[in-house]
Amino acid sequence: MPVNKTNILPRAVIDINRYSSFIRLMRFTAFIRRVVNKKYLFTSTPQTVDELHKAETWWFKKVQSEMFSEVIAVLKKGKQLSNKHYLKPLNPFLDSEGLLRVGGRLSQSQLEFDSRHPLILHGKHRLTTLLVEHEHKRLCHVGPKLVLGTLQQRYHIISARKIVRKCTRECVICRRIFPKVSAQLMSQLPKERVNPSFASEMVSVDYAAEAFVAALRRFVARRGKPRQIWSDNATCFTRANKDLKDFYDYLKEAETRATIANFCSTQAIQWKFSPPTGPHHGSVWENGVKACKYHLKRIVGETKLNFEELTTCLCQIEACSNSRPIAASINSNDDDGIAPLTLGHFPI
C-alpha cells in the first residue's frame, strides 16, 4: 500500500514581514532567545547590550544563509570563489561568529573591526530595508548620501544606493512635510565661496534674536574668528553691525588687548549684506538654513520644547549637518572603500 509522505515546513517563530521597526524586531528576538534559553525567570528584566548584539548576529547570519548560501558553503570548505562571481572582488571570508564579511588589506589597521571588514548584506532582503529605515530615522531623516555614508562604516550592502534612495523617498514623514515643488533658479556663487580660504573664515548667518552678539561670541569660541560675515539685510543685523564696531573699538584698547587676545583678533569682522527683500541672493547659506529646518520639521514638528530640549535637538542637527558628504562620490560603486569627506573633518 503506497504511503504519501508530506514534508511540513516548520512555521517561523518570528515573521519579519510583520515588523516595521528594526529595533522592535531586535528586542522581540532578544526576548524570544531569553525565553528559550531560560536565562531569566522574569522576562521583564531590561535587555542588555549583549542580548541585542546576539539578536542582531542571529538575524545577520539568517539573512546571509538565505541570500549567500552558496558562497558560505564554498568558504566553509576552504575553497575560493569563482572569478566570475560578483562577490569575488570583495574577497569575502567568515569571521569567528560565522558572519560573511568583506576582506581586504586593512587587517593590521587600528580601525574598528566592522570598519576594516564590513558585514555583507543583500539589498533585496527585508532586514536590510528595516536597517536602512532605522538609520534614516536615527539620523533625523537625513538624505540618502548621509545614510549611505553611515551604513558603509559597518555594512557592505549589495545595491546599496538603490535601497537607500527607495527608503528615503518612501518615508512618510519626509513626503508629508516636504512634497515636491517647482525648482527655483539659484543665484551665482559669490567669490568667497569659490575661492580657497580657511575653515570658518567666511561664514553667513540668518538669525533674528536680541542675543545675536552672544551667539556670535559662542561661535568664535568654538570655530574661530571669521574674516567675513554674510547675512540678510534686516534691521536687527544693521544694529548689530554698529554694535560690533563699538565692540572691536573696545578690543583695540591696550587695557583689554592682553586679556582677550585668546578670544579673537583685534581687527573687526567685515560684514556684508544681501540686497533688501532679496533672500534668494544668499542661496549658499540659505541652503544651510534649509537643511536645519529640514530636520526640525521632521523630528520636532509642532511639539513645544524647553530650552534644554531645543539645545539638545539643535546639537543633533549640527552633528548631522557636519556629517554630510561635501560632494557626491565620483565612483559609482556602492562601496569604493573611501570614506566621504565631510565638514567634520576640518578642524579649526
Q: Supply the pLDDT for residue 74.
A: 92
The alpha carbon of 222 is separated from its chain's Cα centroid by a whole number of angstroms, namely: 22
Q: Supply the pLDDT for residue 260.
A: 37
Q: Supply the pLDDT for residue 210.
A: 46
Q: Supply the pLDDT for residue 267.
A: 39
Domains of the chain: 16-177 (no CATH), 192-342 (3.30.420.10)
Dist. CA 91–CA 102, nearest whole Å: 6
CB-side neighbour CA atoms (13 Å) of 46: 2
Q: Supply the pLDDT for residue 204.
A: 62
Q: Supply the pLDDT for residue 60.
A: 96
Low-confidence ranges of the chain (pLDDT < 70): 1-13, 39-44, 181-184, 186, 192-193, 198-213, 225, 230-285, 327-339, 347-348
Q: In the sheet that 93-94 helps form, which strands lie side by side, from edge to edge?
A: 93-94, 100-101, 119-122, 155-158
The alpha carbon of 300 is separated from its chain's Cα centroid by a whole number of angstroms, namely: 18
